[in-house]
Structure 1
Protein backbone atom coordinates (compact mmCIF):
# COMPACT_ATOMS: atom_id res chain seq x y z
CA UNK A 1 0.00 0.00 0.00
CA UNK A 2 1.09 3.56 -0.63
CA UNK A 3 1.81 5.47 2.56
CA UNK A 4 0.69 8.79 1.14
CA UNK A 5 -2.76 7.40 0.38
CA UNK A 6 -3.05 5.88 3.85
CA UNK A 7 -2.17 9.18 5.49
CA UNK A 8 -4.48 11.21 3.25
CA UNK A 9 -7.36 8.98 4.36
CA UNK A 10 -6.82 10.28 7.89
CA UNK A 11 -5.49 7.00 9.26
CA UNK A 12 -3.32 7.47 12.34
CA UNK A 13 0.11 6.02 11.56
CA UNK A 14 2.46 4.00 13.76
CA UNK A 15 5.73 3.10 12.07
CA UNK A 16 9.18 1.72 12.82
CA UNK A 17 12.60 2.35 11.34
CA UNK A 18 15.31 -0.28 10.98
CA UNK A 19 18.83 -0.31 9.58
CA UNK A 20 20.39 -3.09 7.45
CA UNK A 21 22.66 -5.26 9.65
CA UNK A 22 26.26 -6.00 8.66
CA UNK A 23 26.23 -9.64 9.73
CA UNK A 24 24.01 -12.71 9.45
CA UNK A 25 23.56 -12.69 13.23
CA UNK A 26 22.51 -9.05 13.06
CA UNK A 27 19.99 -9.88 10.36
CA UNK A 28 18.61 -12.73 12.45
CA UNK A 29 18.19 -10.35 15.40
CA UNK A 30 16.54 -7.75 13.17
CA UNK A 31 13.88 -10.17 11.95
CA UNK A 32 13.28 -11.30 15.52
CA UNK A 33 12.65 -7.62 16.34
CA UNK A 34 10.30 -7.33 13.36
CA UNK A 35 8.36 -10.39 14.55
CA UNK A 36 8.12 -8.88 18.04
CA UNK A 37 6.71 -5.64 16.63
CA UNK A 38 4.48 -7.12 13.94
CA UNK A 39 1.55 -7.66 16.33
CA UNK A 40 1.24 -3.87 16.66
CA UNK A 41 0.18 -3.78 12.99
CA UNK A 42 2.35 -0.80 12.03
CA UNK A 43 1.20 1.32 9.14
CA UNK A 44 4.63 0.82 7.62
CA UNK A 45 8.26 0.08 8.43
CA UNK A 46 11.30 1.67 6.82
CA UNK A 47 14.87 0.58 6.15
CA UNK A 48 17.74 3.06 6.12
CA UNK A 49 20.20 3.32 3.25
CA UNK A 50 23.96 3.41 2.91
CA UNK A 51 25.31 4.88 -0.32
CA UNK A 52 28.24 2.48 -0.62
CA UNK A 53 27.88 -0.67 -2.73
CA UNK A 54 27.75 -3.30 0.02
CA UNK A 55 25.50 -1.29 2.34
CA UNK A 56 23.24 -0.39 -0.56
CA UNK A 57 22.86 -4.07 -1.39
CA UNK A 58 22.09 -4.90 2.25
CA UNK A 59 19.30 -2.32 2.26
CA UNK A 60 17.75 -3.80 -0.87
CA UNK A 61 18.03 -7.35 0.50
CA UNK A 62 16.36 -6.44 3.82
CA UNK A 63 13.62 -4.44 2.07
CA UNK A 64 12.89 -7.34 -0.27
CA UNK A 65 12.88 -9.89 2.56
CA UNK A 66 10.44 -7.83 4.64
CA UNK A 67 8.23 -7.38 1.58
CA UNK A 68 8.23 -11.09 0.68
CA UNK A 69 8.20 -12.73 4.12
CA UNK A 70 5.88 -10.46 6.12
CA UNK A 71 2.58 -8.67 5.65
CA UNK A 72 4.16 -5.31 6.43
CA UNK A 73 4.21 -2.29 4.13
CA UNK A 74 7.88 -1.40 3.73
CA UNK A 75 9.48 1.86 2.67
CA UNK A 76 13.01 1.95 1.26
CA UNK A 77 15.24 4.90 2.12
CA UNK A 78 17.21 6.23 -0.84
CA UNK A 79 20.01 8.81 -0.80
CA UNK A 80 21.09 10.54 -3.97
CA UNK A 81 24.33 12.51 -3.49
CA UNK A 82 26.65 9.56 -4.19
CA UNK A 83 24.80 8.26 -7.27
CA UNK A 84 24.45 9.28 -10.87
CA UNK A 85 20.89 9.82 -12.02
CA UNK A 86 21.01 6.62 -14.05
CA UNK A 87 22.10 4.64 -10.99
CA UNK A 88 19.16 6.11 -9.08
CA UNK A 89 16.76 5.17 -11.87
CA UNK A 90 18.15 1.63 -11.95
CA UNK A 91 17.67 1.25 -8.19
CA UNK A 92 14.12 2.55 -8.42
CA UNK A 93 13.34 0.20 -11.28
CA UNK A 94 14.58 -2.72 -9.17
CA UNK A 95 12.33 -1.66 -6.31
CA UNK A 96 9.33 -1.29 -8.60
CA UNK A 97 9.94 -4.77 -10.01
CA UNK A 98 10.05 -6.20 -6.47
CA UNK A 99 6.74 -4.52 -5.69
CA UNK A 100 7.95 -1.72 -3.42
CA UNK A 101 5.66 1.33 -3.60
CA UNK A 102 7.20 3.67 -1.02
CA UNK A 103 10.49 5.61 -1.06
CA UNK A 104 11.99 8.00 1.49
CA UNK A 105 13.92 10.45 -0.69
CA UNK A 106 17.04 11.86 0.99
CA UNK A 107 20.13 13.77 -0.05
CA UNK A 108 22.46 11.83 2.23
CA UNK A 109 26.12 12.46 2.93
CA UNK A 110 29.00 11.54 0.64
CA UNK A 111 30.96 8.45 1.72
CA UNK A 112 34.53 9.33 2.65
CA UNK A 113 37.10 9.40 -0.16
CA UNK A 114 34.44 9.64 -2.85
CA UNK A 115 33.40 12.51 -5.10
CA UNK A 116 29.77 12.98 -6.19
CA UNK A 117 29.07 12.06 -9.82
CA UNK A 118 28.84 15.05 -12.13
CA UNK A 119 25.10 14.60 -12.65
CA UNK A 120 24.19 13.60 -9.08
CA UNK A 121 21.10 15.13 -7.51
CA UNK A 122 22.60 17.63 -5.08
CA UNK A 123 19.45 18.11 -3.01
CA UNK A 124 16.59 15.89 -1.90
CA UNK A 125 14.05 17.96 -3.85
CA UNK A 126 15.95 17.10 -7.04
CA UNK A 127 15.63 13.41 -6.18
CA UNK A 128 11.89 13.82 -5.63
CA UNK A 129 11.63 15.52 -9.03
CA UNK A 130 13.63 12.73 -10.68
CA UNK A 131 11.32 10.09 -9.23
CA UNK A 132 8.16 11.92 -10.24
CA UNK A 133 9.41 12.69 -13.76
CA UNK A 134 10.35 9.08 -14.46
CA UNK A 135 7.94 7.02 -12.36
CA UNK A 136 4.93 9.37 -12.01
CA UNK A 137 2.75 7.91 -9.25
CA UNK A 138 4.43 4.49 -9.07
CA UNK A 139 5.89 5.46 -5.69
CA UNK A 140 4.60 7.30 -2.69
CA UNK A 141 7.45 9.62 -1.71
CA UNK A 142 8.37 10.63 1.81
CA UNK A 143 11.02 13.18 2.74
CA UNK A 144 12.88 14.19 5.89
CA UNK A 145 12.13 17.27 7.94
CA UNK A 146 14.15 18.96 10.66
CA UNK A 147 12.16 20.70 13.42
CA UNK A 148 15.31 22.36 14.75
CA UNK A 149 16.77 22.96 11.31
CA UNK A 150 19.20 20.86 9.29
CA UNK A 151 22.79 21.23 10.57
CA UNK A 152 23.66 22.99 7.29
CA UNK A 153 20.72 25.42 7.39
CA UNK A 154 21.61 28.96 8.54
CA UNK A 155 18.11 29.63 9.89
CA UNK A 156 14.54 28.30 9.93
CA UNK A 157 13.48 30.54 7.03
CA UNK A 158 16.06 28.74 4.89
CA UNK A 159 14.91 25.40 6.30
CA UNK A 160 11.26 25.97 5.43
CA UNK A 161 12.18 27.22 1.95
CA UNK A 162 13.98 23.98 1.09
CA UNK A 163 11.35 21.82 2.73
CA UNK A 164 8.72 23.52 0.61
CA UNK A 165 10.78 22.72 -2.51
CA UNK A 166 10.60 19.02 -1.62
CA UNK A 167 6.85 19.23 -1.20
CA UNK A 168 6.40 21.19 -4.44
CA UNK A 169 8.48 18.57 -6.25
CA UNK A 170 5.98 15.89 -5.28
CA UNK A 171 6.58 14.66 -1.72
CA UNK A 172 3.50 13.09 -0.12
CA UNK A 173 4.53 13.17 3.54
CA UNK A 174 7.47 13.75 5.83
CA UNK A 175 9.13 12.09 8.81
CA UNK A 176 11.05 14.34 11.16
CA UNK A 177 14.55 13.94 12.45
CA UNK A 178 14.46 12.81 16.08
CA UNK A 179 13.66 15.52 18.60
CA UNK A 180 13.10 15.63 22.34
CA UNK A 181 11.42 19.03 22.75
CA UNK A 182 7.94 18.97 21.26
CA UNK A 183 7.74 22.73 20.96
CA UNK A 184 10.26 22.58 18.10
CA UNK A 185 7.93 20.23 16.21
CA UNK A 186 4.86 22.39 16.80
CA UNK A 187 6.73 25.49 15.68
CA UNK A 188 7.98 23.74 12.54
CA UNK A 189 4.48 22.61 11.55
CA UNK A 190 3.15 26.12 12.16
CA UNK A 191 5.89 27.65 9.97
CA UNK A 192 5.11 25.15 7.22
CA UNK A 193 1.40 25.93 7.30
CA UNK A 194 2.11 29.66 7.11
CA UNK A 195 3.89 28.87 3.83
CA UNK A 196 0.97 26.80 2.56
CA UNK A 197 2.57 23.40 3.25
CA UNK A 198 0.09 20.92 4.68
CA UNK A 199 1.44 17.45 3.98
CA UNK A 200 1.44 15.07 6.99
CA UNK A 201 4.59 15.58 9.09
CA UNK A 202 5.14 12.52 11.28
CA UNK A 203 7.19 13.02 14.47
CA UNK A 204 10.31 10.85 14.74
CA UNK A 205 10.74 9.39 18.24
CA UNK A 206 14.07 8.05 19.51
CA UNK A 207 13.75 6.05 22.75
CA UNK A 208 16.93 6.64 24.77
CA UNK A 209 18.38 3.28 25.80
CA UNK A 210 22.06 4.22 25.44
CA UNK A 211 22.78 7.77 26.59
CA UNK A 212 26.23 8.06 24.99
CA UNK A 213 24.99 6.74 21.66
CA UNK A 214 21.92 8.98 21.50
CA UNK A 215 23.93 12.00 22.67
CA UNK A 216 26.26 11.40 19.71
CA UNK A 217 23.31 11.13 17.31
CA UNK A 218 21.75 14.28 18.74
CA UNK A 219 25.00 16.21 18.41
CA UNK A 220 25.37 15.16 14.77
CA UNK A 221 21.85 16.19 13.77
CA UNK A 222 21.48 19.21 16.05
CA UNK A 223 18.71 17.80 18.25
CA UNK A 224 18.38 19.35 21.69
CA UNK A 225 18.25 17.01 24.68
CA UNK A 226 16.62 18.91 27.59
CA UNK A 227 18.95 19.70 30.49
CA UNK A 228 16.50 18.11 32.92
CA UNK A 229 16.68 14.83 31.01
CA UNK A 230 20.48 14.98 30.76
CA UNK A 231 20.73 15.43 34.54
CA UNK A 232 18.57 12.36 35.07
CA UNK A 233 20.55 10.24 32.61
CA UNK A 234 24.15 11.23 33.33
CA UNK A 235 24.48 9.34 36.65
CA UNK A 236 23.39 6.15 34.86
CA UNK A 237 25.48 6.51 31.70
CA UNK A 238 26.92 3.01 32.23
CA UNK A 239 23.69 1.46 33.53
CA UNK A 240 21.61 0.45 30.53
CA UNK A 241 18.67 -0.83 32.55
CA UNK A 242 18.21 2.43 34.45
CA UNK A 243 18.94 4.48 31.30
CA UNK A 244 16.24 2.59 29.42
CA UNK A 245 13.76 3.10 32.26
CA UNK A 246 14.34 6.87 32.27
CA UNK A 247 14.39 7.07 28.46
CA UNK A 248 11.15 5.11 28.08
CA UNK A 249 9.37 7.19 30.72
CA UNK A 250 10.42 10.37 28.93
CA UNK A 251 9.33 9.04 25.51
CA UNK A 252 5.93 8.05 26.90
CA UNK A 253 5.32 11.59 28.17
CA UNK A 254 6.58 13.01 24.88
CA UNK A 255 4.23 10.81 22.85
CA UNK A 256 1.28 11.55 25.12
CA UNK A 257 1.74 15.27 24.53
CA UNK A 258 2.07 14.76 20.77
CA UNK A 259 -1.12 12.67 20.73
CA UNK A 260 -2.95 15.38 22.67
CA UNK A 261 -1.93 17.83 19.96
CA UNK A 262 -3.26 15.85 17.02
CA UNK A 263 -0.15 14.54 15.25
CA UNK A 264 -0.76 12.33 12.18
CA UNK A 265 1.33 9.46 13.53
CA UNK A 266 4.43 8.37 15.44
CA UNK A 267 7.59 7.02 13.82
CA UNK A 268 9.93 5.12 16.15
CA UNK A 269 13.67 4.90 15.55
CA UNK A 270 14.13 1.39 16.93
CA UNK A 271 17.90 0.84 16.42
CA UNK A 272 16.77 -2.70 15.51
CA UNK A 273 15.56 -3.37 19.07
CA UNK A 274 11.97 -3.94 20.13
CA UNK A 275 11.83 -3.83 23.95
CA UNK A 276 11.78 -0.06 24.53
CA UNK A 277 9.44 0.60 21.60
CA UNK A 278 6.98 -2.03 22.84
CA UNK A 279 7.06 -0.56 26.36
CA UNK A 280 6.25 2.90 24.98
CA UNK A 281 3.51 1.56 22.73
CA UNK A 282 1.88 -0.43 25.53
CA UNK A 283 1.71 2.73 27.66
CA UNK A 284 -0.10 4.73 24.94
CA UNK A 285 -1.85 1.84 23.19
CA UNK A 286 -5.38 2.67 24.32
CA UNK A 287 -5.15 6.20 22.95
CA UNK A 288 -3.70 5.01 19.63
CA UNK A 289 -6.24 2.23 19.23
CA UNK A 290 -9.03 4.72 19.92
CA UNK A 291 -7.70 6.95 17.15
CA UNK A 292 -7.52 4.04 14.75
CA UNK A 293 -11.10 2.99 15.54
CA UNK A 294 -12.38 6.51 14.90
CA UNK A 295 -10.74 6.47 11.49
CA UNK A 296 -12.20 3.08 10.60
Structure 2
Protein backbone atom coordinates (compact mmCIF):
# COMPACT_ATOMS: atom_id res chain seq x y z
CA UNK A 1 0.00 0.00 0.00
CA UNK A 2 1.16 3.51 -0.72
CA UNK A 3 1.66 5.60 2.39
CA UNK A 4 -0.39 8.49 1.03
CA UNK A 5 -3.39 6.14 1.16
CA UNK A 6 -2.71 5.49 4.85
CA UNK A 7 -2.37 9.21 5.60
CA UNK A 8 -5.63 10.06 3.86
CA UNK A 9 -7.59 7.91 6.30
CA UNK A 10 -9.56 9.91 8.86
CA UNK A 11 -7.82 8.56 11.95
CA UNK A 12 -4.57 8.99 13.92
CA UNK A 13 -1.57 7.02 12.62
CA UNK A 14 1.62 5.98 14.38
CA UNK A 15 4.77 4.94 12.55
CA UNK A 16 8.35 4.13 13.54
CA UNK A 17 11.81 4.69 12.08
CA UNK A 18 14.68 2.21 12.19
CA UNK A 19 18.20 2.53 10.83
CA UNK A 20 20.33 -0.18 9.20
CA UNK A 21 23.65 -1.28 10.69
CA UNK A 22 26.86 0.29 9.45
CA UNK A 23 28.47 -3.15 9.10
CA UNK A 24 27.17 -6.56 8.09
CA UNK A 25 28.28 -7.98 11.44
CA UNK A 26 25.57 -5.98 13.21
CA UNK A 27 22.81 -6.85 10.74
CA UNK A 28 21.25 -9.63 12.79
CA UNK A 29 20.82 -7.49 15.92
CA UNK A 30 19.21 -4.69 13.91
CA UNK A 31 16.99 -7.15 12.06
CA UNK A 32 15.85 -8.57 15.40
CA UNK A 33 15.03 -5.10 16.77
CA UNK A 34 13.18 -4.31 13.55
CA UNK A 35 11.13 -7.49 13.90
CA UNK A 36 10.18 -6.59 17.48
CA UNK A 37 9.08 -3.10 16.45
CA UNK A 38 7.17 -4.49 13.46
CA UNK A 39 5.32 -6.83 15.85
CA UNK A 40 3.69 -3.73 17.35
CA UNK A 41 1.81 -3.38 14.03
CA UNK A 42 2.49 0.30 13.31
CA UNK A 43 0.86 1.93 10.30
CA UNK A 44 4.23 1.88 8.54
CA UNK A 45 7.96 1.91 9.26
CA UNK A 46 10.73 3.91 7.62
CA UNK A 47 14.27 2.67 7.03
CA UNK A 48 17.09 5.19 6.87
CA UNK A 49 19.88 5.36 4.30
CA UNK A 50 23.47 6.02 5.32
CA UNK A 51 25.47 9.01 4.10
CA UNK A 52 26.77 8.32 0.62
CA UNK A 53 24.65 5.17 0.40
CA UNK A 54 26.91 3.28 2.79
CA UNK A 55 24.03 1.18 4.13
CA UNK A 56 22.03 1.04 0.90
CA UNK A 57 21.92 -2.76 0.61
CA UNK A 58 20.79 -3.08 4.22
CA UNK A 59 18.13 -0.42 3.63
CA UNK A 60 16.71 -2.48 0.78
CA UNK A 61 16.86 -5.72 2.76
CA UNK A 62 15.18 -4.38 5.89
CA UNK A 63 12.51 -2.42 4.00
CA UNK A 64 11.69 -5.48 1.89
CA UNK A 65 11.48 -7.75 4.95
CA UNK A 66 9.10 -5.35 6.66
CA UNK A 67 6.77 -5.47 3.69
CA UNK A 68 7.09 -9.09 2.61
CA UNK A 69 7.81 -10.98 5.85
CA UNK A 70 6.24 -8.92 8.63
CA UNK A 71 3.32 -7.38 6.74
CA UNK A 72 4.18 -3.80 7.70
CA UNK A 73 4.29 -1.17 4.96
CA UNK A 74 7.80 0.24 4.56
CA UNK A 75 9.21 3.62 3.56
CA UNK A 76 12.77 3.44 2.23
CA UNK A 77 14.93 6.55 2.58
CA UNK A 78 17.03 7.62 -0.41
CA UNK A 79 19.60 10.43 -0.35
CA UNK A 80 21.08 12.09 -3.40
CA UNK A 81 23.78 14.63 -2.50
CA UNK A 82 26.60 12.12 -2.96
CA UNK A 83 24.86 10.04 -5.64
CA UNK A 84 24.83 9.93 -9.40
CA UNK A 85 21.69 9.54 -11.46
CA UNK A 86 22.91 6.08 -12.37
CA UNK A 87 23.13 5.07 -8.70
CA UNK A 88 19.67 6.46 -7.97
CA UNK A 89 18.20 4.55 -10.93
CA UNK A 90 19.93 1.40 -9.68
CA UNK A 91 18.50 1.81 -6.18
CA UNK A 92 14.99 2.46 -7.49
CA UNK A 93 15.28 -0.68 -9.60
CA UNK A 94 16.13 -2.66 -6.46
CA UNK A 95 13.18 -1.10 -4.62
CA UNK A 96 10.82 -2.09 -7.42
CA UNK A 97 12.21 -5.61 -7.59
CA UNK A 98 11.61 -6.10 -3.86
CA UNK A 99 8.09 -4.62 -3.86
CA UNK A 100 9.00 -1.36 -2.08
CA UNK A 101 6.49 1.30 -3.18
CA UNK A 102 7.34 4.20 -0.86
CA UNK A 103 10.46 6.39 -0.92
CA UNK A 104 11.48 9.27 1.35
CA UNK A 105 13.51 11.55 -0.94
CA UNK A 106 16.26 13.42 0.91
CA UNK A 107 19.16 15.59 -0.11
CA UNK A 108 21.26 14.16 2.72
CA UNK A 109 24.32 15.54 4.46
CA UNK A 110 27.55 16.14 2.60
CA UNK A 111 30.10 13.68 4.04
CA UNK A 112 32.72 15.36 6.21
CA UNK A 113 35.71 16.26 4.10
CA UNK A 114 33.88 15.24 0.96
CA UNK A 115 32.19 17.00 -1.92
CA UNK A 116 28.73 16.36 -3.32
CA UNK A 117 28.27 14.70 -6.68
CA UNK A 118 27.31 17.10 -9.45
CA UNK A 119 24.15 15.23 -10.54
CA UNK A 120 22.06 16.39 -7.58
CA UNK A 121 22.07 19.54 -5.48
CA UNK A 122 18.57 19.59 -3.99
CA UNK A 123 15.96 17.07 -2.89
CA UNK A 124 13.43 18.43 -5.40
CA UNK A 125 15.68 17.14 -8.20
CA UNK A 126 15.61 13.67 -6.66
CA UNK A 127 11.83 13.82 -6.27
CA UNK A 128 11.42 14.56 -9.99
CA UNK A 129 13.64 11.65 -10.97
CA UNK A 130 11.87 9.18 -8.67
CA UNK A 131 8.49 10.15 -10.14
CA UNK A 132 9.87 9.62 -13.65
CA UNK A 133 11.47 6.26 -12.89
CA UNK A 134 8.57 4.36 -11.37
CA UNK A 135 5.17 4.33 -9.70
CA UNK A 136 6.45 5.31 -6.27
CA UNK A 137 4.77 7.25 -3.48
CA UNK A 138 7.33 9.94 -2.63
CA UNK A 139 7.69 11.70 0.70
CA UNK A 140 10.07 14.44 1.79
CA UNK A 141 11.48 16.11 4.88
CA UNK A 142 10.51 19.46 6.35
CA UNK A 143 11.94 21.58 9.14
CA UNK A 144 9.53 23.35 11.51
CA UNK A 145 12.37 25.51 12.86
CA UNK A 146 13.81 26.11 9.39
CA UNK A 147 16.62 24.23 7.66
CA UNK A 148 20.00 25.11 9.16
CA UNK A 149 21.32 26.13 5.73
CA UNK A 150 18.36 28.33 4.78
CA UNK A 151 18.83 32.10 4.99
CA UNK A 152 15.45 32.44 6.72
CA UNK A 153 12.16 30.60 7.21
CA UNK A 154 10.54 32.27 4.21
CA UNK A 155 13.25 30.94 1.91
CA UNK A 156 13.01 27.51 3.50
CA UNK A 157 9.26 27.31 2.87
CA UNK A 158 9.79 28.46 -0.72
CA UNK A 159 12.16 25.55 -1.28
CA UNK A 160 9.68 23.22 0.43
CA UNK A 161 6.98 24.33 -2.02
CA UNK A 162 9.35 23.51 -4.90
CA UNK A 163 9.77 20.01 -3.48
CA UNK A 164 6.01 19.50 -3.20
CA UNK A 165 5.44 20.87 -6.70
CA UNK A 166 8.04 18.38 -7.99
CA UNK A 167 5.83 15.52 -6.79
CA UNK A 168 6.33 15.10 -3.06
CA UNK A 169 3.07 13.63 -1.70
CA UNK A 170 3.64 13.97 2.05
CA UNK A 171 6.16 15.49 4.44
CA UNK A 172 7.80 14.25 7.64
CA UNK A 173 9.18 16.80 10.06
CA UNK A 174 12.53 17.05 11.73
CA UNK A 175 12.28 16.42 15.47
CA UNK A 176 10.95 19.22 17.68
CA UNK A 177 10.27 19.48 21.41
CA UNK A 178 7.80 22.36 21.53
CA UNK A 179 4.52 21.66 19.73
CA UNK A 180 3.83 25.37 19.24
CA UNK A 181 6.74 25.41 16.80
CA UNK A 182 4.95 22.83 14.65
CA UNK A 183 1.58 24.57 14.88
CA UNK A 184 3.13 27.85 13.70
CA UNK A 185 4.96 26.04 10.90
CA UNK A 186 1.77 24.36 9.68
CA UNK A 187 -0.01 27.71 9.58
CA UNK A 188 2.81 29.24 7.51
CA UNK A 189 3.06 26.43 4.96
CA UNK A 190 -0.72 26.19 4.48
CA UNK A 191 -0.72 29.93 3.74
CA UNK A 192 1.79 29.23 0.97
CA UNK A 193 -0.38 26.56 -0.62
CA UNK A 194 1.37 23.47 0.75
CA UNK A 195 -1.55 21.17 1.45
CA UNK A 196 0.01 17.68 1.50
CA UNK A 197 -0.21 15.65 4.74
CA UNK A 198 2.47 16.44 7.33
CA UNK A 199 3.72 13.69 9.63
CA UNK A 200 5.10 14.98 12.95
CA UNK A 201 8.50 13.50 13.76
CA UNK A 202 8.98 12.86 17.48
CA UNK A 203 12.27 11.88 19.14
CA UNK A 204 11.98 10.31 22.60
CA UNK A 205 15.19 11.50 24.26
CA UNK A 206 16.31 8.82 26.68
CA UNK A 207 19.89 9.82 27.47
CA UNK A 208 22.00 12.95 27.79
CA UNK A 209 24.27 12.03 24.86
CA UNK A 210 21.27 12.34 22.55
CA UNK A 211 20.67 15.89 23.77
CA UNK A 212 24.23 16.95 23.02
CA UNK A 213 24.09 15.38 19.56
CA UNK A 214 20.71 16.98 18.77
CA UNK A 215 21.72 20.47 19.79
CA UNK A 216 25.10 20.23 18.05
CA UNK A 217 23.72 18.98 14.73
CA UNK A 218 20.45 20.86 14.35
CA UNK A 219 20.28 23.58 16.99
CA UNK A 220 16.79 22.34 17.93
CA UNK A 221 15.05 24.52 20.51
CA UNK A 222 14.74 22.86 23.91
CA UNK A 223 11.91 24.24 26.09
CA UNK A 224 12.65 25.01 29.73
CA UNK A 225 10.31 22.22 30.81
CA UNK A 226 12.39 19.74 28.81
CA UNK A 227 15.69 21.12 30.15
CA UNK A 228 14.38 20.71 33.70
CA UNK A 229 13.72 17.03 33.02
CA UNK A 230 17.26 16.55 31.73
CA UNK A 231 18.75 18.45 34.68
CA UNK A 232 16.78 16.38 37.17
CA UNK A 233 17.08 12.90 35.64
CA UNK A 234 20.06 13.08 33.26
CA UNK A 235 22.38 11.25 35.66
CA UNK A 236 19.88 8.43 36.24
CA UNK A 237 19.64 6.40 33.01
CA UNK A 238 16.49 4.50 33.95
CA UNK A 239 14.68 7.62 35.15
CA UNK A 240 15.80 9.58 32.07
CA UNK A 241 14.49 6.86 29.77
CA UNK A 242 11.13 6.83 31.54
CA UNK A 243 10.89 10.62 31.55
CA UNK A 244 11.86 10.81 27.88
CA UNK A 245 9.15 8.37 26.87
CA UNK A 246 6.56 10.22 28.95
CA UNK A 247 7.56 13.61 27.49
CA UNK A 248 7.30 12.26 23.93
CA UNK A 249 3.95 10.63 24.71
CA UNK A 250 2.56 13.88 26.10
CA UNK A 251 3.71 15.66 22.95
CA UNK A 252 1.84 13.13 20.82
CA UNK A 253 -1.35 13.39 22.87
CA UNK A 254 -1.31 17.17 22.48
CA UNK A 255 -0.68 16.88 18.72
CA UNK A 256 -3.58 14.49 18.16
CA UNK A 257 -5.86 16.60 20.37
CA UNK A 258 -5.05 19.56 18.13
CA UNK A 259 -5.71 17.77 14.86
CA UNK A 260 -2.20 16.58 13.95
CA UNK A 261 -3.14 12.97 13.33
CA UNK A 262 0.06 11.52 11.88
CA UNK A 263 3.08 10.87 14.12
CA UNK A 264 6.42 9.24 13.29
CA UNK A 265 8.68 8.07 16.13
CA UNK A 266 12.46 8.11 15.79
CA UNK A 267 12.98 4.91 17.80
CA UNK A 268 16.80 4.64 17.63
CA UNK A 269 16.19 0.91 17.03
CA UNK A 270 14.87 0.45 20.58
CA UNK A 271 11.74 -1.75 20.64
CA UNK A 272 11.05 -0.95 24.30
CA UNK A 273 10.78 2.77 23.47
CA UNK A 274 8.34 2.13 20.63
CA UNK A 275 6.31 -0.28 22.77
CA UNK A 276 6.17 2.11 25.74
CA UNK A 277 4.81 4.96 23.66
CA UNK A 278 2.34 2.81 21.78
CA UNK A 279 0.98 1.29 24.99
CA UNK A 280 0.32 4.74 26.43
CA UNK A 281 -1.66 5.67 23.30
CA UNK A 282 -3.68 2.46 22.97
CA UNK A 283 -7.09 4.11 23.38
CA UNK A 284 -6.14 7.40 21.71
CA UNK A 285 -5.12 5.65 18.50
CA UNK A 286 -8.42 3.75 18.14
TM-score normalised by structure 2 residue count: 0.94
Q: Does 1:82 align with 2:79?
A: no
**Structure 1 residue 55 displacement after superposition:** 2.1
Structure 1 residues 86, 220: closer, same or farther in 2, change over 3 A?
A: same
Q: Contact conserved, 2:7 with 2:197, CA < 8 A, in 1? A: yes
Structure 1 residues 239, 23: closer, same or farther in 2, change over 3 A?
A: farther
Partner of 1:117: 117
Selected match of 1:165 from 162, 165, 177: 162
Q: Secondary structure at the match of 2:255?
A: helix
Note the 1:275-286 alignment, pairs <5 A. Answer: 275-286=272-283
- Segments of 5+ residues of structure 1 without an aligned counterpart are 290-296
CA distance in 1, matches of 2:198, 2:53: 31
Q: Does 1:215 align with 2:198?
A: no
CA distance in 1, matches of 2:68, 2:138: 21
The root-mean-square deviation of aligned C-alpha atoms, in Å, is: 1.7
Note the 1:13-32 alignment, pairs <5 A. Answer: 13-23=13-23, 26-32=26-32
Range moving further from structure 2, 23-32 or 60-69: 23-32
Note the 1:34-49 alignment, pairs <5 A. Answer: 34-49=34-49
Q: Secondary structure at the match of 2:45?
A: strand
**Structure 1 residue 23 displacement after superposition:** 4.6
Partner of 2:68: 68
Partner of 2:4: 4
Partner of 2:203: 206
Equivalent residues, number? 286
CA distance in 1, matches of 2:249, 2:210: 20
Q: Secondary structure at the match of 2:282?
A: helix
Partner of 1:293: none
Selected match of 2:148 from 135, 147, 151: 151
**Structure 1 residue 11 displacement after superposition:** 4.5
Q: Can you list the C-alpha shifts for 1:232-275, whole angstroms capped at 9, x where unaligned?
A: 21243332101112112211211111010111311000000011
**Structure 1 residue 16 displacement after superposition:** 0.4
Structure 1's consecutive aligned runs of 4 or more residues displaced over 4 angstroms after TM superposition are none
TM-score normalised by structure 1 residue count: 0.91
Q: Secondary structure at the match of 1:287?
A: coil
Partner of 1:287: 284
**Structure 1 residue 124 displacement after superposition:** 0.7
CA distance in 2, matches of 1:248, 1:117: 39
Structure 1 residues 38, 115: closer, same or farther in 2, change over 3 A?
A: closer
CA distance in 2, matches of 1:95, 1:212: 34
Q: Secondary structure at the match of 2:174?
A: strand
CA distance in 1, matches of 2:141, 2:171: 5
